[in-house]
Structure 1
Amino acid sequence: MSRPPLPPFDAETAAIKTRLAEDAWNSRDPEKVALAYTPDSQWRNRETFVRGRQEIVSFLVRKWAREHEYRLIKEVWAFRENRIAVRFAYEWHDEEGRWFRSYGNENWEFDESGLMRRRIASINDLTIDVGARLFHWPQGRRPDDHPGLSDLGL
């Protein structure tokens, strides 16, 4: 199974790979997201360690059961050969209606087929007022004309 673009990455292919990841995560479809990772992919997500596609699916099911109206923007920070570093922000609310903006960084490593074999994520949550929200597109893929993180000053 191949998931283009394939390494080694340049500025254009790193940006494409990042947008494809953002689109998949904004789908909130755990099975779809998991297909971008190797069967034995290793994650560190905050304090949680995940290994393999089935654990990825289980992790995402739990995540999106807690994080309602999830909307994510990713941006390339750096790239080299088969690695991409991204920064991201996403907005969501909990069951009590409290809104959050979560900020983070991810380090990605890909195999030769373009599947991610390692994902290391560091994330911090900030409580925000509903009026401070910046991600207002309908649930799903971020529209092409919606500002990115740098454009929003994040």
Structure 2
Amino acid sequence: MTESRPPLPPFTRATAIQKVRAAEDGWNNRDPHKVSLAYTVDSQWRNRHEFPKGRAEIVEFLTRKWTKEKEYRLIKELWAYEGNRIAVRFAYEWHDDAGQWFRSYGNENWEFDENGLMQKRYASINDLPIAESERKFHWPQGRRPDDHPGLSDLGL
């Protein structure tokens, strides 16, 4: 049985937005095993200085990430799409063990196989230390509520 993760390419604006929101929702739930199922078994990533390959390494990477990044909350926004590719920009807020808050900004380029699984993910990310009072992402841990502003609405 072939794995499938709709919507499938080629993407329209509507299906690309749907795909971006599904990715955001998955990452906000912070379940490394569940998130890894959105990727091909041999998916290739570049995330900062790490290059995970395949679902097992993706699970290891995400487990380390979410152990370090406490109270993680993410917003993704569609930037561009064509065929089986989507580009997004994103920001997420988190704090470290010492209680220092950060807002991490970045861009991702995604490439999908014909079944809607992501086969390539290239991410560039920068971290900005912020005061807790500067936080903008205040929903309860998990999925961002539909009525919470997105990146453009927040001026990010």
Same fold (TM over 0.5): yes
TM-score (norm 1): 1.00
Distance (whole Å) between structure 1 residues aligned to residue 54 and residue 112 of structure 2: 14
SS at match of 2:62: helix
Does residue 60 (structure 1) correspond to residue 62 (structure 2)? The answer is yes
Quote the residue 2:113 is aligned against: 111
Q: Give the deviation of 1:96 after TM superposition.
A: 0.2
SS at match of 2:137: coil
Letter in 2 for 1:152: L
Which sections of structure 1, spanning at least 5 residues, go unmatched?
A: none
1:99-140: CA deviation from partner (whole Å, max 9, x where unpaired): 000000000000000000000000000000000000000000
Quote the residue 2:138 is aligned against: 136
SS at match of 1:150: coil
Letter in 2 for 1:51: K
Letter in 2 for 1:102: S
Q: Give the deviation of 1:42 after TM superposition.
A: 0.1
Distance (whole Å) between structure 2 residues aligned to residue 138 and residue 116 of structure 1: 28
1:68-125: CA deviation from partner (whole Å, max 9, x where unpaired): 0000000000000000000000000000000000000000000000000000000000
Determine which of 7, 10, 25 is the counterpart of 1:8: 10
Task: Trace 1:22-37 onto structure 2 (pairs within 5 A).
Answer: 22-37=24-39
Aligned sequence identity (%): 74
Consecutive aligned runs of 4 or more in structure 1 exceeding 6 Å deviation? none
SS at match of 2:71: strand
Q: How many residues of Structure 1 are paired with residues of Structure 2 in the alignment?
A: 154
Task: Trace 1:63-142 onto structure 2 (pairs within 5 A).
Answer: 63-142=65-144
Distance (whole Å) between structure 1 residues aligned to residue 99 and residue 40 of structure 2: 35
Distance (whole Å) between structure 1 residues aligned to residue 91 and residue 9 of structure 2: 25
Q: CA RMSD in A?
A: 0.2
TM-score (norm 2): 0.98
Distance (whole Å) between structure 1 residues aligned to residue 130 and residue 146 of structure 2: 25
Which sections of structure 2, spanning at least 5 residues, go unmatched?
A: none
